C-alpha cells in the first residue's frame, strides 16, 4: 500500500494528539530529557525496536541525559505521512517507562 503525504490540516490534527512533538523544516521532531545516560541509552534501544517493527527509521540523537528524534518519509519527497505519526505515537507511549519528560 503506497504512503501518501498528509495535508497541513491533517498534520495539525495529529500534532494536537502528540504533546511535545512539533514540525520543524518538514520533519516531525521531539526531544526527551531522561534521568540518566543509561535511561537515555535504553530508550534509544526501544525506539530502534519500534522503528524496525514499522520498517520506518528516524534520525536519533543520544545525549548524556537526552534523546532527540527527527523523522519524515523519504519515499514521498521528505514529506510527513501517517507512518511518521505512528512512529511518534509509539515512541510517546514508551517514553514514560524510561522516565522521559
Can you give the pTM of this predicted structure? 0.94
Output the pLDDT for position 54. 96
Under-70 pLDDT residues of the chain: 1-2
Q: Domain map of the chain by residue range? A: 39-60+85-100
User: How is residue 28 written as a grid cell?
Assistant: 516531525
Output the pLDDT for position 98. 86
Output the pLDDT for position 59. 96
Q: How crowded is residue 29: how many other Cβ atoms within 10 Å of its Cβ? A: 18
- Residues 6 or more apart whose CB falls under 8 angstroms from that of 12 comprise none
Cell numbers 514499522 correspond to what residue?
54
The Cα-based distances of 54 to 11, 25, 37 in angstroms read: 19, 23, 26
Output the pLDDT for position 2. 66
Residue pLDDT, tens place only, 64-76: 999 999 999 999 9
The Cα-based distances of 76 to 9, 22, 32, 53, 72 in angstroms read: 18, 19, 27, 20, 9
Amino acid at each position: 500500500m503506497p504512503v501518501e503525504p498528509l495535508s497541513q490540516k491533517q498534520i495539525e490534527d495529529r500534532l494536537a494528539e502528540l504533546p511535545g512533538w512539533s514540525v520543524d523544516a518538514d520533519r516531525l521532531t521531539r526531544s526527551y530529557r531522561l534521568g540518566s545516560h543509561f535511561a537515555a541509552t535504553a530508550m534509544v534501544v526501544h525506539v530502534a525496536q519500534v522503528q524496525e517493527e514499522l520498517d520506518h527509521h528516524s534520525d536519533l540523537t543520544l545525549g548524556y541525559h537526552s534523546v532527540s528524534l527527527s523523522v519524515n518519509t523519504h519515499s514521498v519527497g521528505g514529506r510527513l505521512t501517517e507512518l511518521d505519526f505512528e512512529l511518534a505515537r509509539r515512541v510517546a507511549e514508551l517514553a514514560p517507562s524510561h522516565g522521559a519528560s
